[in-house]
Amino acid sequence: MELIIEQVSKQYRTTWALRDLSLRCSPGMIGLVGPNGAGKTTLMRIIATLLQPTTGAVYWNGKDIQKHGSSLRQVLGYLPQDFGVYPEFTGRKFLLYLAAMKGLPSTLARQRVEELLELVNLKQVADRRLTTYSGGMKQRIGIAQALINDPELLIVDEPTAGLDPEERVRFRTLLASLTASRIILLSTHIVGDVEAVASRLVVLREGRILTDTTPQGLLTQANGKVWEITVDPATAQRLQMASRVSTMISKPEGVYLRLISASRPHEDARSAEPNLEEALLAINMQVPVL
Amino acid sequence: MATSLTSSKSVGASPLSPARHPNSLVTVIRWELRRLAFAWSTWLIPLLVFALASMLELALGTNTDPQTVTTAFGVRTFGIDWLSTYGLFHTTPTYLGMVMALFIPFLCTDAVARDLKRRTHELLMTTAIPSWAYVGGRYLVSLLMSLGLACVMLLSIISVALLLHQVQPASLSVPPDLSNITILWAVLFLPPVLILSSVSFALGTLWPRLSMFIKVALLLLWFLSAPIISRLHVGNLAAWDPTSQLVAQAQSTGQMLTQLVLQTQHVSNQVFFSKLYTLEQQLPDMRTWIIPRLAWVGFGIAVVILATLLFRRFRDMRA
């Protein structure tokens, strides 16, 4: 089971969303992170056979998906960032519908739908029309449909958007339990999602790979670039102008700041252990891209 | 999210073997019909069409439209039965055609385009369903809906004709000839339904983002095609009018009256009315119109096949 992305570029009119992007993926979870417009969704839509690359190719088990898209779609689970539902259907019917479109025999489809409804905690409302669902419930239906054919390649774009913290943690655990036998591509803005479950992190910026590493590797790259300091409000304001601030807390003894900077931003600043969010900010401050 | 996926019986243990779609077309049709069955509009539209068509037929059936014929016995005044074979031949493509043109583009243009509007397109296009089955299935269901509406209109014609014949036999002395009504409906009304459904579906599938423009354009074109073709004055183009309106106009009231005068110059009133009823229930010779109608139906199917071949699963747009 292997997914190879080979020098893929995508141009929308005059804008390049992806530039010569290459990636080789084997079973496990790959977290795609990067700011808005970095090209994460474009990359995922190309892999999901929803977009054609301007140049380059994507290979699934050695086959070009432009020519053999159906072989990939048979084993694909995809949760788009933004998706609609059929208002005529209930949650259960909608899942049965997509199971049928994915080619599942009806007996197996019914069994899976029941399991997934329980898994995403929607069994109680499964016979309610989808129009009555909240954003979080709709997102859980989206997660269930992506898993319905037990995919070998699971692509999830901002899957935890709209989920409450408890559901988010459950979803992460669920994803972690699936990583052994499939490739999971997870795009998110929420660093906690990838920090908890991704074995590999691909940071994108302006359509290119900024770094392809592990969460630990990213933290190592950020060592010596995160600083903490408690100062008076005036100094805090001055430091905020000069450096990138990741944390700012007003305390009785002054303003506590955590700063991202290649050099010591203030003589009293102490080097601090970076967290993944700060490591991402630090890497994004570097100008050259891979 | 209550349990772990891997603990479930059928999910998560190992990925499934590739899905196969032995009956993909049937699957699409079955689920689209199921979806439509849950939509209130699926039940409301036929009722609305039945009501509109029946109102039109009632208006026609109760319109005596007095005609006069001068014979050797003097001037004879009579009303044309617009629910007779002759009357329906004249009115079905124009009046009921108008009702059809108001509904069918709105039913068929969105059969595939709806998925883009509702943002269900990406979910469907990443499934294993083959494109031909998806497009073909949606077409067949939209065609079935259109034919259903055409049947509703046939039902309204028959119902109103039977009803009026019962309640006012004086003005509608000709009993409705159900076989003639069905033949007229099949030759003059069904082909336009098939053409309009197919063209609406094909254009909406190829250019889903222009679906509203397509609906309005088709509606206008439908109403304007008969006047445009009739102004061309090139050979017998009337037979090629896809709406059948020019076909319906080909045999005018004047022609029937001339025939009536010729046949009833020297007959009594009783014979006159008997001749009138016979003329009203006569099916016109429709042989010359069948081939053009079949050609148009063939064209409709061809554009649907073209739309299926040109259908793109991917849409080049930014997320």
pLDDT of residue B172: 57
pTM of model > 0.90: no
Q: State how far the Cα of A180 lies from the Cα of B14, in Å rounded to an integer.
A: 9
A122: closest chain B residue by CA: B1
Cβ B2 vs Cβ A119: under 8 Å: yes
The type of residue at A224 is G
Residue of A nearest to B28 (CA): A101
The per-residue pLDDT for B9 is 46
Distance CA B281, CA B297 (A): 28
Q: Please, where are the H alpha helices in A85-214?
A: 91-101, 106-119, 135-147, 165-178, 191-197
CB B85 within 8 Å of CB B282: yes
Is residue B2 helix, strand or coil? coil
The alpha carbon of residue A271 and the mean position of all alpha carbons in its chain are separated, in whole angstroms, by 30
Residues in chain A: 290
Show residues of chain A in contact with B39, CB under 8 Å: 88
Q: Where is pLDDT greater, at A64 or B85?
A: A64
**Residue A176 with chain B: CB contacts under 8 Å:** none
| Ramachandran angles phi, psi of A159, nearest 5° | -70, -25
Whether the CB of A136 is below 8 Å from some CB of chain B: the reply is: no
CB < 8 Å to A85, chain B: 118, 120
CA distance, residue B223 to nearest chain A CA (Å): 33
Q: Which residues pair with B74 in a beta bridge?
A: B71
Q: Which residues contact B288 (CB under 8 A, 6 or more apart)?
A: B236, B239
B252 vs A6 pLDDT, higher one? A6
pLDDT single digits (tens) B164-221 = 888 876 655 677 889 999 998 998 889 999 999 999 999 999 999 999 999 999 999 9
A181: nearest CB among B14, B130, B314:
B14
- Determine whether the interchain pair B34/A93 forms a contact, defined as Cβ–Cβ distance below 8 Å: yes
Mean pLDDT of A74-98: 95
Distances (CA, A) of A269 to A259, B25, B271: 9, 68, 116
Alpha helices (H) in chain B, listed in sequence order? 24-38, 40-61, 85-91, 97-108, 110-118, 121-125, 131-167, 178-184, 190-206, 211-232, 245-250, 253-263, 269-280, 287-310
Q: What is the CA radius of gyration of chain B?
A: 25
- Burial of residue A273 (CB within 10 Å: 0-12, 13-18, 19+) is exposed
Q: Give me the total of CB pairs closer than 8 Å, taking one residue from chain A and one from chain B.
A: 151
pLDDT tens across A148-192, in order?
A: 999 999 999 988 887 888 888 888 888 888 888 899 999 987 887
Q: Which of A14, A32, A51, A101 to mutate to test the interface with B (most CBs of B within 10 A)?
A: A101
Q: What is the distance in angstroms between the Cα of B207 and the nearest Cα belonging to chain A? A: 17
What is the predicted pLDDT for the residue at B169?
63
- The beta-carbon neighbor of B126 closest among A48, A140, A173 is A48
**Residue A173 three-state SS:** helix
pLDDT in tens, chain B (319 residues): 544 454 444 444 444 544 556 689 999 999 999 999 999 999 999 999 999 999 998 888 887 677 887 777 778 788 778 888 888 888 888 888 888 888 999 999 999 999 999 999 999 999 999 999 999 999 999 999 999 999 999 999 999 988 888 887 665 567 788 999 999 899 888 999 999 999 999 999 999 999 999 999 999 998 888 778 777 766 667 778 888 888 777 766 777 777 777 777 777 778 888 888 888 888 888 888 889 889 999 999 999 999 999 998 887 655 4
CB contact under 8 A, B15 and A83: no
Query: Best of B3, B7, B16, B27 to disrupt the A interface by mutation (most A CBs within 10 Å)?
Result: B16
SS3 B116: helix
Amino acid A16 reads W
Contacts of B91 (CB under 8 A, 6+ apart): B60, B82, B248
pLDDT of A290 > 50? The answer is: no
